[in-house]
Structure 1
Amino acid sequence: MSHQPVKSHQPIVFEELKTADGALIAVARLNTPKALNSLSLEMIRLLTPQLKRWAEDDRIRAVWIEAEGDKAFCAGGDIIALYRSMTEPQRGAGASEGAAFFTEEYEMDYLIHSFPKPVVCWGHGIVMGGGIGIMAGASHRVVTEASKLAMPESSIGLYPDVAAGWFLNRTPGRTGLFLGLTGARMNAADALFIGLADRFIKHELKTAVVADLIAQNWKGEDAFAMVGSVLRQHENQSADALPESPVRAHFDEINRVTDADSLTVMVAQMMELASGDGWLAKATRPLEAASPTSLALCWQHLRNCRQDSLSEVLAKEIMLSRNCLSKGEFAEGVRALLIDKDKQPRWRYASLAEMDSEWIDSFFKN
């Protein structure tokens, strides 16, 4: 029994698929492929209430989140819209729209993390920033041979958010800190190694996975175990396509260069790798152009959140992100990379060494 996806012009498409025994599998499909399914406030305001309805509906046994197109699951938040809210406030409405975006995005992320039913996220293609925010909370996170994950916020004057203060602190060694500072791209095997994914399944098997879920008898069964069993079978068929994990291969070196008592020393140690070739050089090279403010925010935020619960982390991130909206560094980063595209951001401080500690402290205050 195969399922043909519904075509629609809505930014998110919702479906409910009937199973063999009359239960339902709910599907949410991000549907702005030309924008790499970047997350807008409108999409958040569609998805959150729908997830709440599905949580309460006893007929729904599991939720499946995917995206239209082959390029990206979700390339992050719609930061061009956020830029407009920072630079073109309409009688005060713009700044509040940016604050609403972050607040409602994090509420949605928390809802996925705490969802009472299985949530499968099919993380095919590019999964960055806000895309990882959706995926990280799913109970069954699937990556494919084309998955490319990253938290590249330091290149635009932001910091790794969407609960990164929680999930980057739970990775092996200091890999989370390394990936947060550099914005390095991860493949499927890296995501499995650091704990951001649960299963590797070839993308060509997606239709078969959905068909198998529909074919199950769900009544009276443990829905989480049922989903796990179906995914495990398809993962076993995919083992030959799993790539090597560069993060795992370079684990000792990553821990060595992130062993420092100050961020300035740490970044200098990491930058020494940038002149070589291979994965580590490619991973650390973006540090040269990154916002020093962003690097300091990432470092401090991860330190502040080490012992925090998920809800405590997200509460801190709401405040931090609101401050990022008003202090100019984020707007300048987006301008240079995505608006004027001159790739010449004029960061407030040219280097970590020049930075005033009071500037960073101000981001962590209401």
Structure 2
Amino acid sequence: MTQVVTFQELDCANGKKIAVATLNSPRSLNALSGEMIDLLFPQLKEWQMQGDIVAVFLQGEGEKAFCAGGDIVHMYNEMKAHQGEFAPGIEEYFTKEYQLDYLIHTFNKPFIVWGGGIVMGGGLGMMVGGSHRVVTENSRIAMPEISIGLYPDVGGSYFLNRMPDNCGLFLGLTGASINATDAKHCHLADYFIVNDNKELLINQLTQLDWQESIELNHEKLANLLTQFEQDSSSHMPDAKLIEHKALIEKVTSFDNLKDIVEAIVTADCEDKWFARAQKSLKHGSALSASLAYKQLQSGESLSLADCFRMELNLSVKSGQFGEFVEGVRALLIDKDNSPKWRFDSVEAVDNKIIDWFFESKWSQEQHPLVGLDN
């Protein structure tokens, strides 16, 4: 059996080591399975404690994807087995996934994520937590949950709220796909390096004069990545978010979801990228849009740990309600692309249902992620 995550420790010139973790399921575009999480989480914990490990490098096998998202098919089967009821497997998966994401966000050593190819959903949840996040000429990044009846989770409540120019709200509602230049603009990535230079970079990492000081190591790594970026800068793709900055700010400037959705889907823009975003919102789940809108409002003042606690509740309830299972069925199981959404517009969404989603399933003391920030 092929190991779904492979681990290496590369010897450095000065006796230290670089830890490399590779998501190894290229046929599934490195979709993040429970088995992957079960391997990654304890190994990262170990590397965090290991004195000779100075940095971690996380990548996906193959050039098509770093990670295309969570293990949706597994979740679909869990939801089908507990239709309309609480699904324990859903709680278990999301709990483990958010613990992994939080560990990456708070890792105490330099943590490099190579975000080449497709980086979506659960893949972005991991990438965005890295201390040094690299994107390439073929990076394609999105939170497309509106198309499957979910909402932008994996810390979206936190990182979408920290984007400039209302980009977070726009991307959360439309699931629009962005490139490397856009990712840097909206703080999802730090460095742009062409894909062909990855092996050279890894080699250079082993030649750095790593120190005992973690702060100094962050600095040395940043300087090296900046040099690589300068060599790659002529290959950076055109930015779509920056190009549409004024329009995005205009259509998201209203103080209610109904007007925002209407402004986005009726905006007069012939650009193909924007048209795809309009189509995703138009055909996506009105419930998902409503959840995303309230999620971003609620998450604005929350800590990262509290964002994950709020999202675990939303995810477990999504597994129970039925919109998520229907979205996955239409897109990935039957592939008829004709989901039967519960509501045909955001105005039709029942506020009592939204309130139910945000009522915590657990008391504060019993929450599965109670110890996240301890």
TM-score normalised by structure 1 residue count: 0.95
Q: Which runs of 4+ in 1 moved over 6 A?
A: none
- Per the alignment, do residues 22 and 288 of structure 1 end up closer, same or farther by CA in structure 2, a change over 3 Å counting? same
User: Does the CA-based 8 Å contact 1:140-1:199 persist in structure 2?
Assistant: yes
Aligned twin of 1:4: none
Q: Return the alpha-carbon distance in structure 1 between the equivalents of residues 46 and 250 of structure 2.
A: 47
Q: Which amino acid aligns with 2:261?
A: V
Secondary structure at the aligned position of 1:13 is classed as strand
Aligned twin of 2:45: 52
Q: Return the alpha-carbon distance in structure 2 between the equivalents of residues 292 and 299 of structure 1.
A: 11
Q: Which digits, 9 at most, give the CA deviation of each residue in 1:266-323, with x for residues without a partner? A: 1000001377343322222211110000000000000001111101101100111010
Aligned twin of 2:21: 28
Aligned twin of 1:188: 180
Aligned residues: 357
Deviates more, 1:115-124 or 1:345-354: 345-354
Q: Which runs of 5+ in 2 are unaligned?
A: 362-374
The structure 1 residue matched to 2:224, chosen from 230, 237, 254, is 230
Q: Which amino acid aligns with 2:94?
A: F
Are 1:80 and 2:73 counterparts? Answer: yes
Q: CA deviation at 1:89?
A: 4.6
Secondary structure at the aligned position of 1:138 is classed as coil
Secondary structure at the aligned position of 1:228 is classed as helix
Q: CA deviation at 1:43?
A: 0.5
Q: Return the alpha-carbon distance in structure 2 between the equivalents of residues 314 and 71 of structure 1.
A: 28
TM-score normalised by structure 2 residue count: 0.93
The structure 1 residue matched to 2:290, chosen from 281, 296, 306, is 296
1:1-366 maps to which residues of 2 (within 5 A)?
A: 9-89=2-82, 95-220=87-212, 222-273=216-267, 276-365=270-359, 366=361
Q: Which runs of 5+ in 1 are unaligned?
A: 1-7
Secondary structure at the aligned position of 1:353 is classed as helix
Q: CA deviation at 1:353?
A: 2.0
User: Does the CA-based 8 Å contact 2:158-2:304 persist in structure 1?
Assistant: yes
- Per the alignment, do residues 11 and 266 of structure 1 end up closer, same or farther by CA in structure 2, a change over 3 Å counting? same
Q: Return the alpha-carbon distance in structure 2 between the equivalents of residues 177 and 85 of structure 1.
A: 30
Over the matched positions of the two proteins, sequence identity in percent amounts to: 46
Q: Return the alpha-carbon distance in structure 1 between the equivalents of residues 267 and 116 of structure 2.
A: 30
Q: Output the aligned Cα RMSD.
A: 1.4
- Per the alignment, do residues 208 and 329 of structure 1 end up closer, same or farther by CA in structure 2, a change over 3 Å counting? same
Q: Which digits, 9 at most, give the CA deviation of each residue in 1:102-157, with x for residues without a partner? A: 01100110000000000000000000000000001000000000000000001000
User: Does the CA-based 8 Å contact 2:290-2:349 persist in structure 1?
Assistant: no
Q: CA deviation at 1:88?
A: 2.0
User: Does the CA-based 8 Å contact 1:320-1:363 persist in structure 2?
Assistant: yes
